Structure 1
Amino acid sequence: MSWAFITSGKWLKGSVRLWLFDLGCASFLGVGLLGLVMALGVPFLLPDDTEHKVDTLMLLMNMFVASTCVAIGWQMNRLAATEWAAIVPQYRQSVLLQALGLLITSLIIATIFLAAHNAFDKFDELLLTLLFGLGFLYFSLKNSSAFHLSFVLYVSLPMLPYLAALLPSTGSALLLFADLVLAALLWRKLSRFGWNNKARIVYLNGLEMGWLWLPSFKSSKLLNRFERYLHPANYFIGPMLTMMLLAMPVVTLLLALGAYMLDVQLPVLFLLIQFSSIACAMLHWSRIQRWRAVESLFVLPGFDGKKGMINAFMLTQYRLLAILTVSMMVTAALVSLLSPQISLSVWSHIVLSNVIGCAAILGLGSMCRTSMQISATIFLVALQSGWVSSSLSTVQHGGDIWRWVAWDIPLLVLALLCLWYAKYRLWRGDLLSD
């Protein structure tokens, strides 16, 4: 790669078409762009609590950087699956330079954001995000199937503030050194980058499954009955939904027990609310990614036409909402035994907030027809995070939580109305006809 080629700017040709006109890449970049837009716009919606506001905005900014890394990983996998890339002059170099430029731009924007909010104490979170992002890229290059675990990068974002708090005083220097070492290893890997016959399989499977893979639960009759109970809502996402529904409360209780034994504060219920909302969004993400499978679902026995299939799908969404509600009620009650701060009012607010977020995302997700539309539901996750974290901040400062519960009631009614109305928008004008 010559310096003259870099300075000529020829490597920018085709970048718009390559990065923005591809469904997969545009979806990830769309999520990142939404995070950036919300990070710029949410300050006008949040209360004047500087510390809380910066924490919420850093989550959005980290989502922007992480989404950029996932989009780059997707392009690297696509490049590895392209057989003719080696015979087109400077094609590989152009894609690599575009990816590098995109990553550097996202880091510059994030650094400017920290400076604008005088939040350089959050720099460790940005370095952790970069470390996880580069690590994801490295393992994706080493094994194409590792890209199926891209969702792990997203679900780790809420944990970054607590991981950063565990770092020693020299944590920033250590993270920066680790990022530089990983970047060097990544560049060395890219310099030997070639065609990979497995990358195309990952790419095609990603278009169908949203780049997510988990093992099957066919050996368990109980889990099979549970999956039948959620059919056809889980038809597109597969056993992953069951695994998430079972794993989320278990992991939450383990984290709560660990925090209790170590005598540290860890908002495990706040994380459970976020993951529940993400699970609802992923249900419709997989439905949109596998839009061709709608016809396969339609021809299955048991549905009385298109209307019957829509009714069955909506019914199982209500079942899913009930499962998430009961799971949150039980989990929050058990966590309250370890944390005296979780009173009846806090418990009620957490349960209601979880129902509001999940119902709204399921409703709006049912109305979505494109990847960009479903990506926008991440905005609801951010709003819900701000709502819950603001209320919990009120509790920590000795405020009254019941006024937040009072606001939960009309929001709950609005979310349930959204879910009810979604019945008339689901699969409207799609492949299926009445």
Structure 2
Amino acid sequence: MMQASKRTWYQGVVSFWLKDVGCAIYLIAAIITTLLCFIATGSEDLLELMIMFSIICMYTAIAWQSIRLQATEWQSLVVGYRKHVMFQGKVFIVFSNLITLLSIIIADNINLLATLTLANLVGILIWFLNRSFSHLFISVCNFSFFTTTLVCVLIEQLPVWLIPVNVVAFIVIVLFHKRFTPAYKWRPDSLVNYRNGLQSGWSPVPSGFLSNYGSSINKGLFPLSYFVGASLSQYLILIALFCAVAVTANLFINIIEHVIFVLTLLLFTIVTLCLWSKIQKQNSWELLFTLPIYNSSQSVKLALSHSALKLAGMVAIACFITVVALVIPHQELLIFNTLGYALGCAAGVLFSFAISNVCKNINLLSVFLCLSFGLNMGLANYMFENADNLFMLVLISAYTVMMAGLNRFTVRYM
């Protein structure tokens, strides 16, 4: 066993939290959503949803690290390894809570404290369950995200009396956590769960979800589907199902802002997952070169840029139809805002793909994807709120065309 050595608390942050797609996808989403809380202080309904999502995503990233610890022997071989990694996770949790607490103070709404404490309670349950039972990761996360989102949508403001209840429950769980099954214990099934999750980026979509219905989608988006796999069609079907459910629910209760935010977040999270899968298989071009439909590496890369453009077009159409169906029951059609939002989403997809074409270093890709995630979300939501004239629509159209050209140009550097 190695002897303990003095380390700064931030040593290895990039390697531990950003190099593996499973952790990075939740951590990046948590950081971006946490920072966006400042922008959403004017809309308390949206701020409630963002607080819940950011805190739970941060705990989910720590839960992923817990599974990683169970799947490896480093915590046994290196003294203080587990404490070092978990301390960094706790720093992230404190950071998220401080930022969200500051946004609550700015919004001047004590009811949002109930949302924050509930998010921490759900988050610590996700963490503690997965540090003992790695096979529960997908089911626990899916259930937690679904139920908390439903709570935010159906309940306008959580009651203040939930604050002490959540705090007491949180303290009890922390004090008696050692009574749970042994935490971070190495198990063979943990290694299997970790490897499966690593290959799919801990995709929130079950592996067999509607897998028989996506062959035509994967065929139409080839060769992008070659790099992403069957998950590509599953992601698109998931977006379509979410849009259908959201539009139906919007007929009974006005949840336009909630749906726009969740749809944008879901879209760019899925794009990030696709890019992680793409970068992992970027060295396997040889199999594509041997296909008779391609006569050179340049033709393969050109086909890949075309499939990315097709994906952006599908995203734009889906977003346009969804927003039209959302706004019509409650107000007159906002044609400029709707078109601006759809084009903003398409431009964000193309911009993300252009970044992945150029960045081959996984650390650099992590940083730029994090920045583009926030930029794309901010742009899409800004266009829906402010693109109410022809000038703004022309600007976003020009930007989208420019991103399409950038994707076509950068694909040669893959």
Q: TM-score, normalised by structure 2?
A: 0.78
Partner of 1:236, secondary structure, is helix
Change (3 A) 1:211 1:265: closer
Following superposition, the deviation at residue 33 of structure 1 comes to: 4.8
Match of 2:228 in 1: 237
Contact residue 357 and residue 381 of structure 1 kept, 8 A = yes
Q: Distance in 2 between matches of 1:257 and 1:419?
A: 33
Of residues 396, 405, 412 in structure 2, which corresponds to 1:420? Answer: 405
Kept after mapping to 1: 8 A contact 2:69/2:184: no
CA RMSD of aligned residues (A): 3.9
Within-5 A mapping of 1:53-64: none
1:219-368 correspondence runs (5 A) = 220=212, 223-261=214-252, 263-267=253-257, 268-300=259-291, 302-368=293-359
Alpha-carbon distance in structure 1 between the residues aligned to 2:214 and 2:66: 36
* Deviation, structure 1 residue 319: 1.4
Q: CA 1:306/1:61 → structure 2, altered by over 3 Å: closer, same or farther?
A: farther
**Secondary structure at the counterpart of residue 239 of structure 2:** helix
Match of 1:16 in 2: 10
CA deviations 1:21-45 (Å, max 9, x no partner) are 23125675555555566667xx6xx
Query: 1:73 maps to which residue?
Result: 63
Structure 1 residue 421, shift from structure 2 partner: 1.7
**8 Å CA contact retained: 2:344, 2:383:** yes
2:130 alignment counterpart: 140
Which SS does the other structure have where 1:234 is aligned? helix
- Note if contact 2:71-2:191 (Cα within 8 Å) is conserved in structure 1: yes
Q: Matched residues, percent identical?
A: 18
8 Å CA contact 1:140, 1:146 repeated in 2: yes
Q: How much does 1:185 deviate?
A: 6.4
Q: 2:313 & 2:133 partners in 1: Cα distance?
A: 39
Displacement of 1:80 in angstroms is: 0.8
After superposition, the C-alpha distances for 1:101-155 in whole angstroms (9 at most, x for unaligned) are: 5434543454345446645443233234323422332342343244457985789
How far the C-alpha of 1:388 sits from its partner, in A, is 4.3
Conservation of the 8 A alpha-carbon contact between 1:27 and 1:371: no
Matched-pair contact (CA < 8 Å) for 1:259–1:266: yes
* Structure 1 residues 227 and 250: CA distance shift in structure 2, 3 A: same
Aligned to 1:215: 207
Greater displacement, 352-361 / 312-321? 352-361
Give the drift of 1:387.
0.2
Letter in 1 for 2:367: M
Corresponding position: 1:82 with 2:72: yes
Distance change >3 Å, CA 84–CA 335, structure 1 → 2: closer
Deviation by residue 1:153-189 (Cα, 9 ceiling, x = unmatched):
7899977753662534533344434544554565543
Give me the whole-angstrom Cα distance separating, in 2, the residues matched to 1:61 and 1:110: 6
Greater displacement, 300-309 / 25-34: 25-34
Alignment of 1:360-379 (within 5 A): 360-369=351-360, 370-379=365-374
Contact 1:65 1:129 in 2 (8 A): yes
Judge which range, 90-99 or 243-252, deviates more. 90-99
Structure 2 stretches of 5 or more lacking a match? none
CA distance in 2, matches of 1:63, 1:354: 20
Question: CA deviation digits over 1:83-115, x for unaligned, max 9?
Answer: 363465555455545544543454345434544
Report the count of equivalent residues. Answer: 400
Larger displacement relative to structure 2 (250-259 or 210-219): 210-219
**Unaligned segments of structure 1, at least 5 residues:** 1-9, 44-48, 392-400
Give, in whole Å, the separation in 2 of the partners of 1:306 and 1:33.
38
User: With structure 1 as the length reference, what TM-score do the two structures score?
Assistant: 0.75
Secondary structure at the counterpart of residue 411 of structure 2: coil
Q: How far has the Cα of 1:217 moved from its partner?
A: 6.7
**Which secondary structure state, in structure 2, belongs to the residue aligned with residue 165 of structure 1?**
coil
SS, match of residue 131 in structure 2: helix
Q: Is the 8 A contact 2:26 2:57 kept in 1?
A: yes
Q: Distance in 2 between matches of 1:386 and 1:12?
A: 45
Q: 1:406 Cα deviation (Å)?
A: 2.7
Task: State whether residues 35 and 99 of structure 2, in contact with CA within 8 Å, keep that contact through their aligned partners in structure 1.
Answer: no
Measured after TM superposition, the shift of residue 307 of structure 1 is 0.9
Residue identity matched to 1:144: S
Q: CA deviation at 1:229?
A: 0.7
Give the whole-Å Cα distance in 1 for the aligned partners of 2:298 and 2:12. Answer: 39
Mapping of residues 54-203 of structure 1, within 5 Å: 65-83=55-73, 85-86=75-76, 91-93=81-83, 95-115=85-105, 118=108, 120-148=110-138, 152=142, 161-162=152-153, 165=156, 167-183=158-174, 186=177, 188-189=179-180, 192-203=183-194
Deviates more, 1:150-159 or 1:68-77: 150-159
